[in-house]
Structure 1
Amino acid sequence: MEQLISDYTIKLTQALGMQAMQRVPALGGALREAWQAKRSIFLCGNGGSAGNAVHLANDLLYGVGLNNRWGGLKVEALSANSAVLTCLANDIGYDQVYSEQLRVKAQAGDILIVLSGSGNSANVVKALEMGNQIGMKTFAILAFDGGLCRSLAQHPIHFPIDDMQIAEDLQLMIGHICMQWLYANPIHEIAPRMSSEADQ
């Protein structure tokens, strides 16, 4: 057990030193812009990544807004509603459980964050395809070789590591880094433009 702890700690530390971490500020900046513009953020993934999507949606909705009277971000984990997931999987196929939700709910300028180890699961691949088609800003936090999602995401955050548990840890850590940065850098209300006699 002691050796596993040591090896795991080393792998996680090495991953945090990879160039992928240099792409995290772009995600944080996009989230802040969406927060200011009241645009929506959608997250999705499978298995543990689906759970991470739900976790981070909570952090962005509530945790970020604790320091801001305007509240947190408009965010939704597409993996959260079991009725929607099972309906779509049964009726049109599991590969479309996320893309169909985006087709209905998302708008140009919204943000999609895909969480995936392999980057090859059909449902997250189709989610990125739909997000790009709609005109969303698309991000993907990936491991292994990045799969198809690495080329589909406009902003891939790719860690070339062959460890799914480390990959899932990194998803949460990046989310938590963004959450803490947003909390410390809250948005401010944009005052409505006042009309003047010159406008009349």
Structure 2
Amino acid sequence: MNPYDAVLGRSFASNYLGRLTTILGTMNPQDIDRAIAVIRRVWHAGGQIITLGNGGSAITALHFATDWSKGVFEATRRPFRGRSLIDNMGIVTAYANDMSYADVFVAQLRNIATPQDLVVAISGSGNSENVVRAVRYANEIGCETLGLVGYSGGKVKPLAKHVVWAQVDDMQIAEDVHAIFGHIVMQALCQTEDEDRA
């Protein structure tokens, strides 16, 4: 017998998938639809969609930039100006060394962001200081800001102009929801473009 069966009464995988399914069922589809609309609006206006995050969320940010830039462009032939602030480790480590790790994103935004852009800030806790500073700066210069958070939402939730919130005290489940959001966005942008051409 699997040791988890005795403790949980079922397999660990079933338990995890059950918790993920429950959280997905609590998500507000309107929040996701509004986020998609913001991304689409900035994309159509020619703005940049700039993603950022730490740890697992850094990889999610990079995943978004990869999927959206390649997948959406290939499906629609409309250029998608997606970029991530975590893919140039030279820049990240230079700012971390010369300034502070708390400034690695805001320092990059000062160089590349314009008011026409969207900053997608991913933080499971919502409290990563470098993410908070990036959202605050992006708001100050007039960017759209979208926060993807878990737990209580932390500081990012009230700070970002738009929020997708996985209300769960589990980092892995929150990160799963954020990754799913990225795939929803890609398919939605490709599908709506197909509908517009019909």
TM over 0.5: yes
| 2-structure distance, mates of 1:159, 1:15 | 7
Q: Quick check: 1:108 aligned with 2:115?
A: yes
Identity of aligned residues (%): 37
One-letter code aligned to 2:72? V
- 1:36 maps to which of 44, 48, 51: 44
Q: Secondary structure at the match of 2:11?
A: helix
The Cα of 1:23 is off from its aligned counterpart by 0.3
* Residues 142 and 21 (structure 1), Cα distance of their counterparts in 2 relative to 1, 3 Å cut: farther
* One-letter amino acid matched to 2:69: L
Amino acid at match of 2:15: D
Counterparts of 1:79 and 1:163 in 2: how far apart (Å)?
Answer: 23
Question: Which structure 2 residues correspond to residues 5-20 of structure 1 after superposition, within 5 A?
Answer: 5-20=13-28
Specify the SS of the correspondent of 2:119. strand
- Displacement of 1:21 in angstroms is 3.5
**Equivalents in 2 of 1:53, 1:107: separation in Å?**
19
Matched, 1:52 2:60: yes
Give yes or no for the alignment of 1:86 onto 2:93.
yes
User: Residue 115 of structure 1 aligns to a residue in which SS?
Assistant: strand
Rounded to whole Å, the distance in 1 between the matches of 2:69 and 2:44 is: 13
Deviation, structure 1 residue 109 = 2.5
Q: Hey, what does 1:155 align to over in structure 2?
A: 162
The ranges of structure 1 where at least 4 consecutive aligned residues each deviate by more than 3 angstroms after the TM superposition are: none
2:105 — aligned with what? 98
Q: Normalization by structure 2: what TM-score? A: 0.90
Query: How far 1:3 sits from its partner (Å)?
Result: 2.0
TM, length-normalised to structure 1: 0.89
Q: Which moved further from structure 2: 14-23 or 46-55?
A: 14-23
Q: How many aligned residue pairs are there?
A: 188
Structure 1: tracts of 5 or more residues without a match: 190-200
- Aligned counterpart, 2:7: none
5 Å-filtered alignment, 1:107-126, equals 107-126=114-133
Other structure's SS at 1:120 match = coil
